[in-house]
Structure 1
Amino acid sequence: MSTTTATPTASEGLEASMAARRTPEQLKASRALLWRELLTSLWAPLVILGLAFIPYILLIELVPPAAAWAQPLMQYLALAMLGYFLGLIGWRLVSPKERVLRGLRHEARELIQEIERIHKRVPGKIAPEVSARLAEQAVRVEGASLAGDAPGLEKETKELDKLATQLLGVFRKQGTWDFFAGFAKALAIAVIIRVFIIEPYRIPSGSMLPTLEIGDQVFINKFIYGVRLPFTNWVPFQIVRPPARGDVIVFNNPVRPEQDFIKRVIGVPGDTVELIEGAVHINGEPQQRTLVTEEQLVHNKGEGGPWFPERLVLYNESLDGKVHAVLQEDRTARLRSEGPYVVPAGNVFVMGDNRDNSLDSRYGLGDPSLGARFVPYGHIKGKAMVVWMALGYGGWFSNFFEGTGLRTDRLFEPVR
């Protein structure tokens, strides 16, 4: 019984030509190897965690009470992915052959994908016989890869590279632009995500204690209030809603444009905000505040200075039904009365949760000599959503870094 290889009658893609030359067993083995390579990539744990993180953010934003069970699950998943990552590194260290094979397989895949891109870019310009010769050699490369034959894989890949240069030389030179175009597209996507969708922000000071601690890294939702045009402080239209009382926002400080601040929205346009004995009053209505403890221990630090402990008075405060924690130095407020502050249109009034240690709207947003200052909508960069990393006081390896360590207990903490 003899077998014949069909000769293509028209120029077709490399993958299609290769598929015609594979047996079902080879096709199955090829797919299994691809999945094995993906799952043993050092990127695999990060990709899995990232894929879980997206629905987690949506869940805790849309259904806040779900964080009670979803956050521990995410923390366990993160620890599992860390173990996964360390296991992959250990496996590579004890299996040098596998490390060499991964590199060779990567080179082979890149070459085959390049040839396939050329076929797609110039349809009809590559003769069927050329596609057939390239496909036959590519199948040999694939066979050596499936067999785990490192020397054979290296030899067959070099042969394919030589053949591609010989048969597709002109098109390969043109492919350099494709590389840069692909890089530019990836860069553009990353910029769009950072500018319009989500952006990281590091907590630099203790003004938002205990809600946010120094060294917390948070993601901010860039589109909820509207698209803020790059290099401007202009939001042409709202997308979801305007800032609301209780939101924790990151904004470009209108008083110190070189700095970004993070504070809590206390008053919205038209509100009259006043503090009486430390309690917030909005439009004459006192906001509920409940004493939790007079001995709340927190750790603070100045710029470049060491960590130091503080024991402060902890309250739970409610703004429009949103409960959050606030700190005060003593049961007796520093000032009996502050305000009233009338919030102008298109602005918000903000304060830090560490009420006696925050340069906020009450104190000129960093320049007390200016009196009260508000945050224009156009300066708001977004709403803080979740702590994705925490390098703060205590935690893993803190003994080696002057008290600063990885705080796994704060991972995926919703910002409330």
Structure 2
Amino acid sequence: MTVSANPPATSESAPTVQRSPEHERALRALLWRDRLTSLWMPLIVLLVAYVPYLPLIEFVPDSASWAQPFMQGLALVLLVAFGGILAWRLAVPRERVLRALRHDARELMEEMERIHKRLPGKIAPEATARLDEQQLRLEEAFLSADAARIEKETKTYDAVATQTLGVFRKQTAWDLFSGFGKALAVAFVVRIFIIEPYKIPSGSMFPTLEIGDQVFINKFIYGVRLPLTNTVPFQIVRAPARGDVIVFNNPMQTDLDFIKRVVGVPGDKVELIDGVVHINGEAQGRTLVKEDLVVFNKHDSIGWFPEHRRLYEENLSGHKHAVLQDAPTARSEHEGPYVVPPGEVFVMGDNRENSSDSRYGLGTGGGVAFVPYGFIKGKAMVIWLSLGYGGWFSGLFDGTGLRTDRLFLPVR
């Protein structure tokens, strides 16, 4: 392999390592090999696929019929890939050692590149030339797959970097801190204003959402919410609509977050007559789907236990979704009317007779309670993880397992 170890003296803003085309190709192939066999790669691929999936199922609901099976298949393939990579790592210890050495060496090279970019024209050409020469030796050690040689050349490269750029390396601590701060700020903005996970704690939303489901909520669709003031200065996409499943900070018990379905919007008069919802005097049709649906609830003292419910499909102003009722006749013959004030919504759980919702003071039992817009955190979009009754490994965890059938399920 022919490599020029003495590049022209220059004060450019980055190292000027001169490599032959063959050397470049071999290094690139090795880098991609390390990337594709990283245990992080399956997760990264899944997260990348999630980016278009979320808006697709949110704004083109019919696409879920093919997009959800695709995501489930992709997740299965990636899970198998993760298992294969892990097994290969365990079976070939030498590969683990080489990967770790290459990783440490690349981090050192990246540090040198950051210093050059941060201080253009301030680093002596001789220092850059010495680093370039040693980097070439280190890269050749990569290609030799000799662990001892890689370790030796990395130590030499580190020593040269300290000798030539020692004063500048001390300043990189701030770079590390500022980089961490930027990542933390991005994560904060995403969680507060864009998307947030929420775990389903109870059976009040059976059968739409089950205990152990974990959903992503869309935090910007209704507008930017200011958490400390519980206000929404302006809407972004639209106001909450009938049929939306929302996560909100309970205005009656502000230390709790609830998840319920919006049934009434400002100005609506909501009544339940023998279990049938009436909006402004108009019955919202529902159809019996199954007379005996078994759902599994959970209690801390007894674990999982079955409950028998009647399953209906309700059409709430054109939004079709499932609801449950305990018996052929509703527990209460008549509930309401409830008139929804401006800027607030009336919410109920889909497990209609087992839900602490607006009819019952949102858990306080103190009469009707509405949810102001400013308390709404966002709209539930999709189940990204489900650790509920049954599923994979449930025999090892008292009935709780990974429910792959519920992964990527849109919340309707």
CA positional deviation for 1:304: 4.8
Equivalent residue, structure 2, for 1:400: 396
Which of residues 327, 330, 336 in structure 2 aligns to 1:330? 327
Contact 2:6 / 2:129 at 8 angstroms: preserved in 1?
no
Contact 1:299 / 1:308 at 8 angstroms: preserved in 2?
yes
Q: For residues 331-363 of structure 1, give each alpha carbon's deviation from its aligned partner in whole angstroms, at most 9, with x where no partner exists.
A: 111111100000001100000000000000000
Contact 1:202 / 1:215 at 8 angstroms: preserved in 2?
yes
1:8 and 2:9 are equivalent in the alignment? yes
Give matches, 1:6-405, under 5 Å. Answer: 6-14=7-15, 17-18=16-17, 21-368=18-365, 370-405=366-401
Distance 2:334 2:4 in 1: 94
Equivalent residue, structure 2, for 1:409: 405
Cα distance change on mapping 1:158 and 1:390 into 2, 3 Å: same
> Given the two structures, how large is their TM-score scaled by the length of structure 2?
0.97
CA positional deviation for 1:108: 0.5
Distance 2:143 2:51 in 1: 35
CA positional deviation for 1:308: 1.0
Contact 1:11 / 1:131 at 8 angstroms: preserved in 2?
no
CA positional deviation for 1:148: 1.1
1:373 aligned counterpart, secondary structure: coil
CA positional deviation for 1:320: 2.1
Contact 1:11 / 1:125 at 8 angstroms: preserved in 2?
no
Contact 2:361 / 2:368 at 8 angstroms: preserved in 1?
yes
CA positional deviation for 1:402: 1.1
1:297 aligned counterpart, secondary structure: strand
Cα distance change on mapping 1:246 and 1:11 into 2, 3 Å: same
Question: Superposition RMSD on alpha carbons, in Å?
Answer: 1.5
Distance 1:3 1:99 in 2: 31
Distance 1:162 1:59 in 2: 52
2:96 aligned counterpart, secondary structure: helix
1:116 aligned counterpart, secondary structure: helix
Distance 2:279 2:301 in 1: 37
Q: For residues 383-409 of structure 1, give each alpha carbon's deviation from its aligned partner in whole angstroms, at most 9, with x where no partner exists.
A: 000001000011111111111111111
Contact 2:5 / 2:132 at 8 angstroms: preserved in 1?
no
Cα distance change on mapping 1:221 and 1:151 into 2, 3 Å: same
Cα distance change on mapping 1:4 and 1:156 into 2, 3 Å: closer
Q: For residues 38-74 of structure 1, give each alpha carbon's deviation from its aligned partner in whole angstroms, at most 9, with x where no partner exists.
A: 1111000000111111211121112111111211111
Distance 2:83 2:36 in 1: 14
Contact 2:5 / 2:133 at 8 angstroms: preserved in 1?
no
1:184 aligned counterpart, secondary structure: helix
Contact 2:314 / 2:322 at 8 angstroms: preserved in 1?
yes
Percent of matched pairs sharing the same residue: 66
Distance 1:272 1:334 in 2: 21
User: What stretches of structure 2 of length at least 5 have no aligned partner?
Assistant: none
Cα distance change on mapping 1:4 and 1:278 into 2, 3 Å: closer
Q: For residues 265-285 of structure 1, give each alpha carbon's deviation from its aligned partner in whole angstroms, at most 9, with x where no partner exists.
A: 000111111111101111111
Q: Which amino acid aligns with 1:143?
A: E
Distance 2:5 2:95 in 1: 36
CA positional deviation for 1:6: 4.0
Contact 1:388 / 1:412 at 8 angstroms: preserved in 2?
yes
Q: Which amino acid aligns with 1:235?
A: V
Which has the higher mean CA deviation after the structures are superposed, 260-269 or 191-200? 191-200
Q: Which amino acid aligns with 1:371?
A: G
1:412 aligned counterpart, secondary structure: coil
User: What stretches of structure 1 of length at least 5 have no aligned partner?
Assistant: none
Distance 1:41 1:8 in 2: 37
Distance 1:261 1:208 in 2: 10
Contact 2:198 / 2:217 at 8 angstroms: preserved in 1?
yes
> Given the two structures, how large is their TM-score scaled by the length of structure 1?
0.96
Distance 2:185 2:4 in 1: 50
1:249 aligned counterpart, secondary structure: strand
CA positional deviation for 1:12: 3.5
2:170 aligned counterpart, secondary structure: helix
Distance 1:186 1:269 in 2: 39
Distance 2:266 2:228 in 1: 25
2:171 aligned counterpart, secondary structure: helix
Contact 2:11 / 2:120 at 8 angstroms: preserved in 1?
no
Q: Which amino acid aligns with 1:398?
A: S
CA positional deviation for 1:261: 0.2
CA positional deviation for 1:4: 8.6
Q: For residues 311-331 of structure 1, give each alpha carbon's deviation from its aligned partner in whole angstroms, at most 9, with x where no partner exists.
A: 111100011211000000011
